[in-house]
Amino acid sequence: MSKKVFVGGISWNTDNEGLREAFERFGEVVDAKVITDRETGRSRGFGFVTFAEADAASQAIAEMDGQSLDGRTVKVNEAQDKPRDNRGGGPRGGGNRW
């Protein structure tokens, strides 16, 4: 079962491939994505790595949290699902208020 980890504090110079390479030693990386600003395309300083196996993700968290990646100390932990906005439709998110 795949598992996603959050990687925070990454260098502005780290790209998707560099992120993947840094974590491949722990197991099969399904996806590695540096999150970028929509307008500027510049890194927002964090990303996500998805591993094919949960054990590989756990090992990556244990070994990479607090370590240096491209000259920056990174924070690595289990990714949390973003809470869903249940307000519903409409451009203002008004939804079912009544």
Q: Which domain holds residue 14?
A: 3-45+52-78
Is a pLDDT exceeding 80 seen at residue 41? yes
pTM of the full structure: 0.81
Please tell me the predicted confidence (pLDDT) of residue 35.
Answer: 97
- On whether residue 94 sits in a domain, the answer given is no
pLDDT single digits (tens) 61-80 = 999 999 999 999 999 999 98
Distance of CA 58 to the CA centre of its chain: 14
* CB burial of residue 23 (10 Å; 0-12, 13-18, 19+): buried
Half-sphere exposure of 82 (CA within 13 A, CB side): 4
Asked, for residue 98, whether it belongs to a domain, the answer is no
The domain that holds 11 is classified in CATH as 3.30.70.330
Q: Is residue 91 part of a domain?
A: no
Q: Report the number of distinct structural domains present in the chain.
A: 1
